Amino acid sequence: MKIIESLKIKEKEYIEKLDNGMTVIIIPKPNLEKKYIIWGTKFGSIDNRFIVKDSEEVIIPDGVAHFLEHKMFEQPDGTNSLDTLMALGLDANAYTTNDHTAYLFECTENFYEGLDELMNYVQHPYFTQENVEKEKGIISQEIKMYDDEPAWRLYMNAMDCMYEKNPIKIDIAGSVDSIKKITPDILYKCYNTFYNPSNMIMVICGNFEPEKIIEEIKNRLVSTKEEQQIKRIYPEKESKINKKFKEIEMEVSIPLFAIGFRDFIEEYNTEEIVKKHIAIEILLNMIIGESSETYKELYGKGNLISEPDMDYEFSKEYAHILISGRSKEPNLVREKIEETINQYLNNGLDEKHFNRIKKKIYGNYVSEYNSVGDIARMFLADKIKDIDSFDYIEKYNCVTKEYTESVLKNVFKTDNMVMSVVRNKK
């Protein structure tokens, strides 16, 4: 078992790669009552074309990863594992993202009973023509519901602006038409390919002895499956944005906006991407965070309702910044953000403001280690990207003002800037 320690925050992680290829990560928290487990597979909405070993290319309908997540809970005896976990008093759930699917629960009691159920249903899929057809109706309603959700339409239109062919612009749930093509055979094919232990990561956080919990996991694993060699096929990386602007009308009281900056990563280097991520978080807070002059001015004049959401989303296949919020004057917000960026490009970053925000970002990283759920989800999401979460603590001091200014120059470019708006119907 490999042990990694962060001396700065006095935390340890224990990592073991099992004989079947599955990675298990344990972060002990002996002083916390809550326990959290999350089991993820590297199968997300963008993984719709692949080759297994030397077989022919497989192309699956959009939305299969999400559909599979829904179906994993159903058991041959008619029970639902999610209901079983909830009856034990556990807070259980599952989710699908662009690059992974995860199953989880949090509890203070009945952890091992929950572990039995979790490891049983994730390792024993049950798909029939009848239950697949039934699920199509349920997910079709979910897709239609999201189609009527302004915030989701805002996000998807921003993706459409930034990408022409990248599958990240496809709805995670697929479309009503695409899920009609899903069959039990397709689900079993994807399960057997992507739910292979060698493609999965389990993260456990709480009051555990690493060696003992590892043995408990091993005792509940089914017989080892042959490691799958998956070649994922994605469109060729694009060299420019798709379009600058997209606006739609929906029933909203105040217009919604999303301002994006497409980041073009030539070579995915985990050490560099962590440093860049830290620098971008600092820059976003300096440009439009609640302590920035730009935010204070816009908020003071009623042009921003609250601090915008700010995020940097990335993987080996995509990378972009999103600033989203509500404003009666979305174009004014965009102009002020551009103006602030240009001021920083011309005059450099204010050193006192930079240091203050940098400390705030570090404080945010440290505070995440107070919650077993935050820790486990963070370690899984980072590990999917081949990043160790401690790297954000360790690389923090490497992010200087000069380095951050270089990121500002290379990423926050007008040519790479897009805007999505949802306005109220006239």
Q: Is the CB of residue 207 less than 8 Å from the CB of residue 9?
A: no
Determine the pLDDT at residue 266. 86
Alpha carbons 37 and 282: distance in angstroms, whole number: 31
Determine the pLDDT at residue 181. 97
Q: Does the pLDDT of residue 91 top 80, yes or no?
A: yes
Q: What's the pLDDT tens digit per position in 28-74?
A: 999 899 999 999 999 999 999 999 987 889 999 999 999 999 999 99
DSSP 3-state assignment of 371? coil
Q: What's the pLDDT tens digit per position in 353-372?
A: 999 999 999 999 999 999 99
Mean pLDDT over all residues of the chain?
95
Amino acid letter, residue 277: H
Residues 6+ apart with CB under 8 A from 365: 392, 393, 396
Determine the pLDDT at residue 309. 97
Helix (H) / strand (E) containing 106? strand 101-107
pTM to 2 decimal places: 0.95
What are the chain's domains? 2-232 (3.30.830.10), 245-424 (3.30.830.10)
Q: What's the rounded mean pLDDT across residues 292-302?
A: 95
pLDDT band at 426 (very low <50, low <70, confident <90, very high): confident
C-alpha atoms less than 13 angstroms from C-alpha of 195 in its C-beta half-sphere: 22
Helix (H) / strand (E) containing 386? none
Q: Does the pLDDT of residue 118 top 90, yes or no?
A: yes
Residues 6+ apart with CB under 8 A from 96: 44, 45, 65, 66, 69, 102, 172
Determine the pLDDT at residue 345. 97
Amino acid letter, residue 350: D
Q: Does the pLDDT of residue 187 top 90, yes or no?
A: yes
Q: What's the rounded mean pLDDT across residues 118-131?
A: 96
Q: What's the pLDDT tens digit per position in 197-247?
A: 999 999 999 999 999 999 999 999 998 777 778 999 999 999 999 999 999
Q: Fill in the DSSP letter of residue 250.
A: E
Q: Can you read off the two tokens belonging to residue 206?
A: 């709480």
Residues 6+ apart with CB under 8 A from 125: 71, 72, 187, 188, 191, 195
Determine the pLDDT at residue 54. 77
Q: Does the pLDDT of residue 425 top 90, yes or no?
A: no
Q: Which residues are catalytic?
A: 69
Q: Is the CB of residue 334 less than 8 Å from the CB of residue 287?
A: no
Q: Does the pLDDT of residue 341 top 90, yes or no?
A: yes
Sign of CA dihedral 288, 291, 294, 295: positive
Beta bridge mates, 231: 51
Q: Can you read off the two tokens belonging to residue 129?
A: 């023509």
